[in-house]
Amino acid sequence: MFKTLVCVVLLTVPATAMAEDAVKRLDSAAGVLSEVMSAPDRGIPLDLLSRASCIVIVPSMKGAAFVVGAKYGKGFISCRKGAEWSAPGAVRVEGGSFGFQIGGQDTDVVMLVMNGRGAQHLLSGQFTLGGEGSVAAGPVGRASTAQTDPSMHAEILSWSRNHGIFAGIAFQGATLRQDLGDNAEMYGQPYRNKQIVDGNIQWPKSGTELESILRKYAFRAGEQRRKS
């Protein structure tokens, strides 16, 4: 019965999520990243961003009010290419262990992929968080305590924001897969995420704001790292 209920939720929630197209979702992702990074005492440490291989942003992840782990969200992945960031590839996040959900809530999710192995996992087409690679709750604040915190050895660090509260949270068992439909909407072709990230595909015009914010905070992160 429980498995049936979860399946029904995951089949019905996507219909709601589809109401917001990829273009609007890019704007939402840019807004999430800007708001998170503009609060240095409560955001993602810049030194972590400076070392990250990729970033994943899932704005307004949907939650079900009456089941455990029934979640669904659509967002984007962008990976570092030298001093620049790749064009975004669309992703879907489904299911996973988030603890008991008292009420249905929308949650913004941000993940940093900290090494090449983690990036390869996420660009493989489908990836289970916590199953094929280590995922840990990311620290919040100006500095990362990377020298003492064992979670800094994780391939992926993750955070969530709900009702203005931003905190590190480890997603276990959630499936992250590429969304070829949204990629086709953005680029006119159903590119695979690996083609987008590793190729010479240009940022879509709808992603200009997100690209600008990534450049802005990556630059600040680099400056901070050079001064330290």
pLDDT at 29: 96
Mean pLDDT in consecutive groups of 10 residues from the start of the chain, 228 residues: 41 43 93 89 86 92 55 91 92 69 68 89 82 78 55 81 83 87 95 94 95 87 66
pLDDT at 168: 87
pLDDT at 14: 45
pLDDT at 105: 67
pLDDT at 132: 57
Residue 163 Cα distances to 43, 60, 105, 175, angstroms: 14, 11, 9, 24
pLDDT at 226: 66
For tokens 């589809």, name the residue: 18
pLDDT at 18: 42
pLDDT at 131: 64
pLDDT at 134: 77
